[in-house]
Copies of this chain bind each other. A is one copy, B any other.
């Protein structure tokens, strides 16, 4: 049975095509900087927004009426959902997918039921992967939707909730390992607080560190070769989430000695909610040595919640890919579409339109970023700008050759009077736009 029977396999037709069910820029086999676009992008479609979310928002009921979301036997629906998902992946031609444990299998009414349901569906997913060639970019566990997690999971005031969460992660990590997942993601949706008045920050941080350490140790024990990733987000659903941004995660990991075991999965919309540009969070993750993977989407610059829209700014994505390509591209990471169609976009076609448009934007961004990287005028400018630090004087400062007083003495003796040199921001912005718009 087909869930998208009137939708053809999506092919590449070039920029002139009028066909909205075709790629205009994503020619997956096209080579850029020695790799194909498919290899660069490592695109994943997510289960939750595309196959689970029914089109509700906080003011409205679900607007979608997907066959696999109808009432009925939960396990049967889960199989149908998997069929629909893999049909979608295959028609779209994207190489990866991602899921939460409870996206793919019903929770049931007990831990036992949960583990059995999840095991059966995991087997089914393995079969679907084999049949289609679609691979798992990462798995994760949903530790935020069930009422038991209202006060947090690892940071819950109740150790039994911690234990419940540990059980889910254990299963989800094991399943990810079995399904050949390249990464395992931890998003602490409610690891934070709604009010400081009832919250013990010290205690909750300790709990969270313990939890992460257990996950790291388990991943080693089972021989998981993928990367463990934390996904920063500043708030929502909580008032404040501990994994606020890349810098906060880095500080936490460093405090608990986990900075070599866990990296970050950066979401564009989470970056902007935290008051940072997407570019900033990616550049910062590289600077701190914890870059892992990306959740590709966008927020609305005028709205203050996680709109999870499909990325549509090639300009913004080009800067993100400039960083990624400059650092050698993804290793285990990839571009996961943590994106959802709007609640008004109720047709199955809309699921395709959303992904196709976004994939074309990513393809454009990789190509434009490659232009920037190949003849890296930004890097050249930086090298010249910081040249003073490569002189003997600069090196001596950095290597500890001066104390504050000897340096001050030296400065006074020499009567230093350094002059500011132009940062040329405007010219560099034009360099970027020329890479984006000058390409022919």
CB of A316 to closest CB in B, whole Å: 9
A382 and B314 in contact (CB under 8 A), knowing A57-B237, A147-B61? no
Contact call B199/A438, Cβ cutoff below 8 A: no
A15 and B277 in contact (CB under 8 A), knowing A218-B403, A357-B429? no
Residue A72 is within 8 A (CB to CB) of chain B in the complex: no
Residue A287 is within 8 A (CB to CB) of chain B in the complex: yes
Residue A275 is within 8 A (CB to CB) of chain B in the complex: yes
Partner of A393, one of B159, B301, B416, B426: B159
**Secondary structure call for the A interface:** helix
User: CA–CA, A423 to B343, complex, Å?
Assistant: 9
A236 and B303 in contact (CB under 8 A), knowing A148-B420, A411-B111, A424-B353? yes
- Chain A's interface size range is 35 or more
Residue A7 is within 8 A (CB to CB) of chain B in the complex: no
Contact call A147/B415, Cβ cutoff below 8 A: no
User: CA–CA, A198 to B243, complex, Å?
Assistant: 28
CB of A217 to closest CB in B, whole Å: 6
Enumerate chain B residues within 8 angstroms of A420, measured Cβ to Cβ: 63, 147-151, 344, 346
Enumerate chain B residues within 8 angstroms of A200, measured Cβ to Cβ: 382, 386
Task: Give 10 new A-B contacts, CB below 8 A, not counting A213-B400, A214-B403, A360-B433.
Answer: A63-B150, A151-B420, A167-B411, A207-B389, A215-B404, A236-B305, A248-B251, A272-B302, A301-B301, A313-B315
21 cross-chain CB contacts under 8 A? A58-B236, A59-B189, A62-B147, A63-B150, A159-B388, A159-B389, A159-B393, A160-B416, A170-B405, A195-B425, A195-B428, A201-B286, A210-B400, A218-B403, A240-B302, A245-B248, A248-B248, A248-B251, A251-B252, A274-B275, A347-B424
